[in-house]
Homo-oligomer: A and B are copies of this chain.
Amino acid sequence: MKEPENRFEVIYELQIEKGISAFKVAEGICLEQTVEVDRSLVCNSFISDEVVGQIVKLEPLEMGKYRLKVSYTWDVTAGNIPQFFNVLYGNISMKPSIKVVDFIGDHPMFPGPQYGIPGLRKIFREMDHPLLCSAIKPMGHDVQSFAHMAYKMALGGIHMIKDDHGLNDQPFCPFEERVVKVSEAVNKANAETGGNCMYMPNFAPSLENFDHHLDILKRNEIKGILVSPFLIGLDQFRYLATHESFILMAHPTFSGGYLMHENHGMRPGFLLGKLFRYLGADASIYCNIGGRFSFDLATCKDINTELWSVHPRIKSAFPVPAGGMTMSNLGQMKKVYGKDLIFLVGGALLQSEDLTKGVKEFRRLAFAD
């Protein structure tokens, strides 16, 4: 077997029915995720010692649950993200009662955040408080309305204004026109206030428009973007962090298939925290308690912990608890989670009679001790 650094470990949780051998299930995972044949067809020592996943540990937990640690060589991943996810949770995603809870290892295919918490704090010159973000919404407004909305918010001193993640290249609100007009509006406000509010367009083009839309962003000196890895592809997200210089705010849309089940899918902290961060997210949005969605407090804290954790190579990233947050949630969030957060208030801010005043109140509440 190669030296440990040439291998990584994946931790699975298995729910095993009575009368089924946990070891057989574990052995099945090792084979399915690599050679896809019975052990009897593993015909040489290179394949059995190197290629097939190896059970490192299999331990029973309570109630028919087992914790399984499997070691794989990085070589089976071919050093690329599509094949990494295939090894991690490809075919076995179609088997019941197998959940990925963690992986241990590092590889240059994971760029990690380019800015992360230290980089963003520096950019926004905001070392002691949570960062503040809102969204232009609802979909259906024309570009001019969104530009006005962004202008008003930027005047109030918000750090980031992102597109709602459904704003794409709709005929009633085209991508290029929106990028041009909204960034102009935000720049105008910045010139007036001396601030550095950032407009973050949503980047979710078809592959044909990938490079063209990147050009539009660069021509307009856009510094940060909103990206949904499960919409544009996990590798496409990694590509942006590797080859472009945008601040990346990850959105979890369409990832729910992997997040919602006790005994299947992936631990949310692992997917939205660790993996999104490893793939390059400077900030990761998730469904906070008290909003429209359903993560519980422990899950939210777990996502935060994964984004914040110290790593020798990979920068820490900002948690963005969201999904229907209101001003009244801010104090509680800060109390429970601390200050290394991006507060994202969207719809609730739009209810303000005056958006600039609304943002000022948002700042006041978020910055209060």
A-to-B contact residues, CB < 8 Å:
28, 32-38, 40-44, 46-47, 50-52, 75-83, 85-87, 89-96, 109, 137-141, 164-166, 168-172, 204-209, 228, 231-236, 238-239, 243, 252-261, 264-265, 287, 292-294, 346-347, 350-351
Q: Assembly of this chain: how many copies? A: 2
A-B contact pairs, 27 of them (CB 8 A): A28-B292, A34-B138, A35-B137, A35-B139, A36-B137, A41-B347, A51-B138, A51-B172, A75-B172, A81-B206, A82-B228, A82-B231, A83-B166, A85-B231, A86-B254, A87-B166, A90-B254, A91-B253, A92-B256, A94-B293, A95-B293, A95-B294, A96-B294, A206-B238, A232-B235, A233-B233, A257-B264
Task: Please determine whether A351 and B41 come into contact, CB atoms closer than 8 angstroms.
Answer: yes
Question: Residues of B contacting A81 with CB < 8 Å?
Answer: 206
Complex interface: chain B residues within 8 A of A255 (CB): 93-94
B254 A75 Cβ-Cβ under 8 A: no
Interchain CB contact under 8 A, A37 and B86: no
| Chain A to chain B: the 6 pairs with minimum beta-carbon distance, closest first | A93-B256, A233-B233, A257-B257, A47-B140, A35-B138, A51-B140
Q: Is the CB of B137 within 8 A of A37?
A: yes
- What B residues does A231 contact at CB under 8 A? 82-83, 85-86, 90
- Complexed CA–CA distance, A359 and B58 (Å): 39
> Would you give the shortest CB distance from A174 to chain B, in whole angstroms?
9
**With contact pairs A137-B35, A253-B91 given, residues A239 and B206 touching in the complex (Cβ less than 8 Å):** yes
Cα distance, A139 to B204, chains bound together (Å): 34
A351 to B209, CA, bound (A): 47
B95 with A168: CB separation less than 8 A: no
- Contact of A168 with B257 in the complex, beta carbons under 8 Å: no
| Nearest-Cβ distance from residue A93 to partner chain B, whole angstroms | 3
Candidates B34, B137, B206, B252; contact of A139 at CB < 8 Å = B34
Whether the pair B36, A164 counts as a contact (CB closer than 8 A) is: yes
What residues on B are CB-neighbors of A82 within 8 Å? Answer: 168, 204-206, 228, 231-232
Contacting residues, chain B, for A169 (C-beta < 8 A): 78-80, 83
Contact A138–B94 (Cβ < 8 Å):
no
Shortest C-beta distance, A148 to chain B (Å), equals 13
User: In the assembly, what is the distance between CA of A38 and CA of B347, in Å?
Assistant: 8
Distance in angstroms between the alpha carbons of A18 and B95 in the assembled complex = 31
A142 CB to closest chain B CB (Å) equals: 9
Q: Nearest Cβ in chain B — how far from A108, in angstroms?
A: 12
Are the CB atoms of B36 and A166 closer together than 8 Å?
yes
Interface contact B171-A260, CB-CB below 8 Å: no
| Inter-chain contacts of A86 with B (CB < 8 A) | 165-166, 168, 204, 228, 231, 253-254
For A28, list chain B residues within 8 Å (CB). Answer: 292
Is A94 a contact of B259 with CB atoms below 8 Å? yes
Give the Cβ gap from A240 to chain B, nearest Cβ, in Å. 9
Chain B residues within 8 Å of A205, by CB: 80, 82
Complex partner residue of A75 from B41, B75, B170, B347, CB under 8 angstroms: B170
